[in-house]
A and B are shown apart, each in its own frame.
Chain A
Amino acid sequence: MKKAKWIVPTVYIIFLMLPIYWLLNMSFKTTTEIINTYTLWPQEFTFDNYKKIFTDSTWYTGYLNSIYYVVMNTVISVAAALPAAYAFSRYKFLGDKHLFFWLLTNRMAPPAVFALPFFQFYSSVNLFDTHVAVALSHCLFNIPLAVWILEGFMSAVPKELDETAYVDGYSFWRFFFKIFIPTITAGIGITMFFCFMFSWVELLLAKTLTAVAAKPIAATMTRTASTSGYELGLLAAAGSLTIIPGAIVIYFVRNYIAKGFALGRV
């Protein structure tokens, strides 16, 4: 019985890894091999697809653009959400419940609804095709999420902590930065993980709000696919590379994922 338990996660992980393996497999093949034959692993192993991406600036700037606005968005979201989540977890104030639900509704707003108005709005304030525009537009769904998660973590911290600190003569901000934030680092880690994740994977808004200067890698991929023929190998290589930043982030927060969830919203 104990041994059999391993089967379920193992089968599930194999199922998860199969499409990823297929993508990697394609990325090391030449275009002729992809189109003409069906092979389970590359017969002529080639790095050409990756070489193209790392030497062609239209490709690699896409990665830099994506990382740039994702990091910007994560920082803005968490910085703005920290005091707000504190307010929601500690105080009652006029309209607090309505405000909280209103914030959540924005997490529910389908990006497709906002695509066109966003384009017009950001064009009219001259922010179109900038990293700031994408970072700000992703705040629409990331800030509500960040507030929601952080509020959970903060509510789990007993209020006595605050009161003791004030008795000891701490000012509010000193308490907030010196005592409170260090006690919820796990929560902040989880929140950053989710903000990074949702900003990194979102494409509809990022694509709508950019043209050249801030174009994300994912948009570069779709445009290349349609303009320069069906270069599957190149596409596969570019796709494989988009997995790497996510994998690095997961590696750093792996301990928080299990522990963090258990402390917070759960």
Chain B
Amino acid sequence: MNKTINQKAWFFVIPVFILVAFNAIIPLMTVVNYAFQETFGNNVFMWEGTRWFKQIMLSERFHASLGRQFLFTFIILFIQIPLGIAIALSMPKEGIGVPVCLVLMSMPLLIPWNVVGAMWNIFALPDIGFLGHSLNALGFDYNFTQQIGDAWFTTILMDVWHWTSLVVLLSYAGLQSIQPAYYQAAEIDGASRWAVFTKIELPKMKKVLTIAILLRFMDSFMIYTEPFVLTGGGPGNATAFLSIDLVKMALGQFDLGPAAAMSLIYFFIVLLVCWVFYTLMMRNEGNQ
């Protein structure tokens, strides 16, 4: 769409700008403040320069939690995106099935995150939980509070349960916007199911899928509450993702300097990845 140049449009943006700046810039300045200084309380600060940043960048603990974070995000994207597309493809296109599917599938999205964690905790407990009990009855030695592999399996399964529906909803909406004429044309040409998928459906879903990947990347990268309630980061530190590690450092040990430096590095990584996505997305929009 051709946009008119109008500097007065800033007046429309001002309320949003003030509200977000109030929440973003002032607290961010506090973080920056801590990141470069050492404090012993009583508002006494000493300049520390980049010491905290060096300390974090070189610490094994940070490397480990960052590695776990990337592994986790990669696995859940790898499962949720294809699964979401597959489910959206096989959903009914009209009739009573549509609202039923949509309402039931949206349910996990609207459950508070700590309830999701608590629910999965109860569900996966080896003695009284359905999942844990069934797996043990089938002969698996399953205990997510003791074994690292089981803890990862449960956390990933929980995230798949929690968020695949978002991908489904977005993909479904993308599919709905395809005109029936495209399918008719494909049928006349005798196109295979696979060709219909790669040549018609996938290109039409490209935009929503970018949004889905972006949202899933951001949210899984900041995941905190669900694994915290489910495993508490354990066993050991096996499921201590970045946010969990950060909160432990900031509020548990009150190492404000290193925690602030870690926050900034953390934020910077998210920003970088999202900037790449965003640029790619905008380029796509420009092409159309």
Which chain A residues have a beta carbon within 8 Å of chain B's beta carbons?
5-9, 12-13, 15-20, 22-23, 26, 34-35, 38, 40, 76, 80-81, 83-84, 86-94, 96, 99, 101, 103-118, 120-121, 136-137, 139-140, 143-144, 147, 155, 159, 197, 200-204, 217-218, 221-222, 225, 232, 235-236, 239, 242-243, 245-247, 249-251, 254-255, 257-262, 265-266
Cβ distance A41 to chain B, nearest Cβ, rounded Å: 11
Task: For A246, list chain B residues within 8 Å (CB).
Answer: 107, 109-111
B170 in the interface, Cβ–Cβ < 8 Å? yes
Task: For A159, list chain B residues within 8 Å (CB).
Answer: 1-2
Cβ distance A161 to chain B, nearest Cβ, rounded Å: 12
Cβ distance A64 to chain B, nearest Cβ, rounded Å: 15
B192 in the interface, Cβ–Cβ < 8 Å? no
What separation, in Å, do the CA atoms of A121 and B34 have in the docked complex? 14
How many residues belonging to B are interface residues under a CB distance threshold of 8 Å? 96
20 additional contacts (CB under 8 A) given A114-B28, A203-B114: A9-B91, A16-B161, A18-B130, A18-B131, A86-B12, A87-B10, A90-B9, A96-B9, A110-B222, A110-B243, A111-B243, A112-B246, A114-B23, A115-B251, A121-B26, A121-B27, A203-B113, A235-B122, A250-B110, A265-B208
B177 in the interface, Cβ–Cβ < 8 Å? yes
Q: Please, what's the 1-or-0 string for B86-129, where 1 marks a CB less than 8 Å from any CB in chain A?
A: 11001110000111011111111111111100111011000111
Contact A108 B207 (CB under 8 A): no
Contact A114 B27 (CB under 8 A): yes
Task: For B225, list chain A residues within 8 Å (CB).
Answer: 203-204
Of the candidates A7, A204, A245, the one whose C-beta lies within 8 Å of that of B224 is A204
Task: For A8, list chain B residues within 8 Å (CB).
Answer: 86-87, 90
B51 in the interface, Cβ–Cβ < 8 Å? no
Contact A111 B274 (CB under 8 A): no
The 4 closest A-B pairs by CB, nearest first: A246-B110, A261-B173, A117-B27, A110-B222
Most buried by A among B23, B129, B169: B23
B184 in the interface, Cβ–Cβ < 8 Å? no
A interface majority secondary structure: helix
Contact A16 B165 (CB under 8 A): yes
**Chain B residue at minimum C-beta to C-beta distance from A256:** B102
Contact B20 A103 (CB under 8 A): yes
Task: For B26, list chain A residues within 8 Å (CB).
Answer: 117, 121
What separation, in Å, do the CA atoms of A81 and B14 have in the docked complex? 10
